[in-house]
Structure 1
């Protein structure tokens, strides 16, 4: 019996040793490789900073996860997740029923309105009537592209860009009449040097939960229940212990979590 117990004990130790490297592997947090201030942007040294980066790392710390920021092209970020090149997405990805066919989400960690930016001297309103006959720029594979195609059907053209920055620059150059994106990102743009000179916010679009979703969550592979539970618990914890507000205060003077 003693020999049997020793064998079982040795087997358990070996099994734990075999599992240790996998458990110690860092969680690769996928962010969009394209700068998206103030959520995520590389500094002069190439280090990624911003509200969403700070928040993701705080959630990881609370969940006791060893996380590493991993930039991935936006239009390939879901395939990168499903093919295990990254382990979670933290890229202002709205929780939608269409995306949930492919991936899972944590609980939301923020929810802000969607807005339209236009030229400073424009009288365009952020409505179907206001954008009728206009050229609207949107970032590819976003809820904003889906929204514009659904609600602004009388637009003269919907121009699709790989990055929101490209859409913003075409608005500055006068090649489009308007662009739609998250209100925080667009506000950061119109407060920038280029944005102040040319552009303004025309207002928020009408809500559409089916398209825009109930908020932004961490994207996860299907079946990653343990990781999902840890992230959800961590989101709840940092909101309760004040860390969420501490991270938010230097960036925003209002509640990012939303109703």
Structure 2
């Protein structure tokens, strides 16, 4: 789950867009996302944002009766960009962790899926333990819970960080790394493509709450309690009215919300 440029004149959490004549006002929320993490968020070749995160964000905005505006931002800079008021919330498969809670506040989770290890089909790797991956080169997207877990766990391996998931996938295909660690749904999405036919899931990793957090939540600036409460109420509402299941079933064959 994990872990780019418009300037807003917003004076509060929600930017106010006035209609012609100024008679009515519409609340607008700027949503920051990465756009490079399918099936959760991804930019298509024609510049459209698609994915589970995007559909959930749209459903939440509709439930809250606000207009959504999406802003793409590289992962490494996404929290600083939120703090700098480039957008009002991050919906980008960001795991709720103690480390991130020092910088931002979170809503309740909106999904929680396990991590996994992926490798070439002819790999000699037989498990996901420290011992099974000793001496191997493991690719991860940097500044993610998967990176943190790999650095802490696979101390007998070389852990190599990448700016995006696409880059570790390319190195795995070309044999520059032996395995990769990411969210199982991201890996499964890739394995279903022609490019991902090279590889297989070696096994899943039991999440460590102190590292992997409590699921993916919506990050907001510190102290913006009212916005968090609105998001939480909207998450509960789309879970109750069937909208969440409809979106979930579009992408997954299981309930991504988790236990």
Q: Unmatched 5+ residue regions in structure 2? A: 1-14, 19-24
Match of 1:131 among 130, 133, 150: 133
1:213 aligns with 2:213: yes
Shift of residue 194, structure 1, vs aligned partner: 1.1
Which residue pairs with 1:47 in the alignment?
48
Query: Which secondary structure state, in structure 2, belongs to the residue aligned with residue 248 of structure 1?
Result: helix
Query: Which secondary structure state, in structure 2, belongs to the residue aligned with residue 58 of structure 1?
Result: helix
Query: Which secondary structure state, in structure 2, belongs to the residue aligned with residue 250 of structure 1?
Result: helix
Shift of residue 113, structure 1, vs aligned partner: 0.4
Query: Which secondary structure state, in structure 2, belongs to the residue aligned with residue 128 of structure 1?
Result: coil
Which residue pairs with 2:142 in the alignment?
140
Distance 1:230 1:163, change over 3 A: same
Shift of residue 129, structure 1, vs aligned partner: 0.9
Between 1:95-104 and 1:39-48, the stretch displaced more is 39-48
Root-mean-square deviation (Å): 1.5
Which residue pairs with 1:201 in the alignment?
201
Which residue pairs with 1:9 in the alignment?
none
Which residue pairs with 1:96 in the alignment?
97
Shift of residue 20, structure 1, vs aligned partner: 6.0
1:175 aligns with 2:176: yes
Query: Which secondary structure state, in structure 1, belongs to the residue aligned with residue 95 of structure 2?
Result: coil
Q: Unmatched 5+ residue regions in structure 1? A: 1-18
Q: Please give the alpha-carbon distance, in whole angstroms, between the structure 2 residues aligned to 1:21 and 1:136.
A: 47
TM-score computed with the length of structure 2 as normaliser: 0.89
Structure 1 residue ranges, 4+ long, deviating more than 4 angstroms after superposition: 19-23
Shift of residue 64, structure 1, vs aligned partner: 1.4
Q: Please give the alpha-carbon distance, in whole angstroms, between the structure 2 residues aligned to 1:239 and 1:185.
A: 22
Q: Please give the alpha-carbon distance, in whole angstroms, between the structure 2 residues aligned to 1:244 and 1:88.
A: 19
1:147-186: CA deviation from partner (whole Å, max 9, x where unpaired): 001111111x111100011001100000000100111001
TM-score computed with the length of structure 1 as normaliser: 0.89
The 8 Å contact of residues 114 and 206 in structure 2, kept in 1 or not, is answered as: no
The 8 Å contact of residues 34 and 42 in structure 2, kept in 1 or not, is answered as: no
Task: State how 1:1-259 maps to structure 2 within 5 Å.
Answer: 21=17, 24-33=26-35, 35-124=36-125, 125-155=127-157, 157-196=158-197, 198-259=198-259
1:162-214: CA deviation from partner (whole Å, max 9, x where unpaired): 00110011000000001001110011111211111x11001111321100001
Q: Please give the alpha-carbon distance, in whole angstroms, between the structure 1 residues aligned to 2:80 and 2:149.
A: 22
Q: Please give the alpha-carbon distance, in whole angstroms, between the structure 2 residues aligned to 1:63 and 1:25.
A: 10
Distance 1:158 1:62, change over 3 A: same
The 8 Å contact of residues 26 and 66 in structure 2, kept in 1 or not, is answered as: no
Which residue pairs with 2:6 in the alignment?
none
